[in-house]
Structure 1
Amino acid sequence: MFSFRLQSTDDLARRGTITTPHGLIETPIFMPVGTQGTVKGITPEQLKGINAQIILGNTYHLALRPGDELVAELGGLHKFMAWDGPILTDSGGFQVFSLAEIRKITDDGVKFRSHIDGRLLELTPEKAVKIQENLGSDIAMVLDECPPADADEKHIRRAINRTLMWAERCRNAHTRPDQVLFAIVQGGVHVNLRAECAKPLTDMDFPGYALGGFSVGEGPEVMHALLPPCAALLPEHKPRYLMGVGRPEDLLAGVAAGIDMFDCVMPTRNGRNSFAFTGEGTLRMRNSCHRRDSRPLESDCPCYTCVHFSRAYLHHLFHSKEMLGPTLLSLHNLAYYLRLMASARSAIENRTFAAFHRDCLARWKRPT
């Protein structure tokens, strides 16, 4: 029902296929983020049109509203949001740590107040698993503790110990046979601490592994240097997932390090704020230089936005505060990210990934 097949490699970069109950996932892959049961502004049909293979749902937000038990009652998250492809759900831990105004963390779990209505709630490893089983995602994540980038070694070790304890409790609580559970490696910017976290987790033999706690303030150069040794800590024959990292240059650095799966809100969040990603770098559609520009965002992009609309029209939509502008730009950005991953897969198969990577970086650095 769930499997990972490594098809080819080019140095550390990997090309593979993940099989899930709701379909195949070609890796390396980018996962659009559907925080509250929707990829903001984009319909499921539009996601299929740009070849999205898997989307991510957010346990914290869906548990608060509309509630995971209601989603289960209505047939699960796939039916609820009319998406019949694979879904990955995160555990909700990162959102608790980043969004909850008041929280108390112990070895038992996290008590926090909802950012929506102030209700006092508790998230334990068992509760995180139960919520994700109710949602019915194909891939669920263990509850972990993500220390901030500037945490000292004592704080990080405490987070690692708690992450390991919670991972085992999540594994023991997980019962849904059509869903797999991935573990999360923490350890900040210290490879030795990452190794101390990874070894016990790999001994627990989870179906897949994630690197958490990156892109939380440590700087991209530091992250890029850490990714190869950290990815090497994870089993070769299982999927590797870099959580919440999303600039195009970060994705390719991850692929070059041997990472298979990525997610980030950046393509849709930036799209809502008039930023477009292209093969020649980023564009800001509010800028006056686009006012009379009849060109599409990208001449070789087959997405609905580029086929039908000009830069001038997109500029007009943002200045008119029309909701179609954020939708069209989000759609293009996701299409660009997914095409970038498809090109990376082809380059790995052809053993030309290093040249492809260099070419992308050179084009992104050109003035636009």
Structure 2
Amino acid sequence: MDARFNNPGELLEAMPHVIGYHPRDELFIVLVQDATMKVMMPCELPLNHVCEHVWERVHHLINEVDADSFFLLGYGSHEHVSAAVDAFMPRLASRLHMVAAFRVERGHYYMYGGGPGCDHDTHGVPLPVGSPAAVHTAVTDGVAFPDKEAAFAYLQPVTGTERHRSDFATLLTIMQMTADYFTDAAGAEPETDVSAAPIVDDARACLAAAVETYRDADAHLDEQRLAKVALSVLIPILQDETMALIGADAAADQRDGGSRLDAHRRLWFDAMRHAHTRIAATPAALFACAAMAGSDGARAANAVLEYAMACDPNSSLAEALAINVFNAMTSREHVTLLTSATVDEIRAAAGQPDFVWLRPLIAAITHIVAMFDPDDVLAAQRLTPSVLRLRELLP
């Protein structure tokens, strides 16, 4: 964020556009290095029992980003924000220089000072609505959602009939993928000469075709093709290749003002919302990756990645992107990182496809198949013998 602020009120009014939504009952610990905001860690209020857990993360990040100062932004009641400020301010001040601590509530802000739990002005100072700095931030970083719930509602998976169609589309796609390949390969040891090339090549072609489809601003994939996209990108090397393609299109857009990146954002947004919960984390992380490469990185940082980690707390891709967010990486820095290697260079470094590459995909498939009720008549009619045999591989 490169806007200049003339007073604390302008900074506080702009913050929701940086965060991605208007916070309620949250404290943001902001670590600063050389007057540059490097890390912004949210924690929900009241703190209750999570204080030590949050402090462990903050302590780790202080060392990671080599921060030299900090400030605190609290949104909510005096009681809850003051308790959190009292919990964190002394610990942070023992390590870093304190810039300020603020509380925002009902369109006013308050500065802490004069001892624990003490607001500087009991009446507060009105936020300067419509300040030039806030308007600049809204334009460059994206318009904020009204609250955190609205941000998550925007990202929530499809429901009702759409959910039913998408889940069966996933099952049908698994049938196709297992019929010719996985039934035999799933039981093989990685030391054997099972070739992963056919499935990797097919998945790669699926992803390339999907991006080309979304070049048309009005085009969308149906549920079954979205399911195949979500399954295909579970292959780790295809995640790397996808991010390189996102970076290449974003870099081209930066050079000539194009809109190539929109295809990636629209594709991964659709794939994320239609994906089976077991495999939604990777499409969500790739949507975040594409968003971070454009103008709405704040939304990705504070909503999409949190959603991805909720789907799969062990998602290494979401975790890696979260580190970039924690380090306040700008869109240009993010694109530079994504374009550090081309797709051809990634493929050359990886070598020939190996069966081990397919393990995340096979693990997801066996998990999804196990979730379908075998007594469900409709499901039983659609389950081919190959899927049923794959199900038997479950421990």
TM interval, shorter chain, is under 0.3
User: What is the TM-score when the length of structure 1 is the normalising length?
Assistant: 0.28
Higher strand share: 1
Q: Max radius of gyration: which structure?
A: 2
- Normalising to structure 2: TM-score of the pair? 0.26
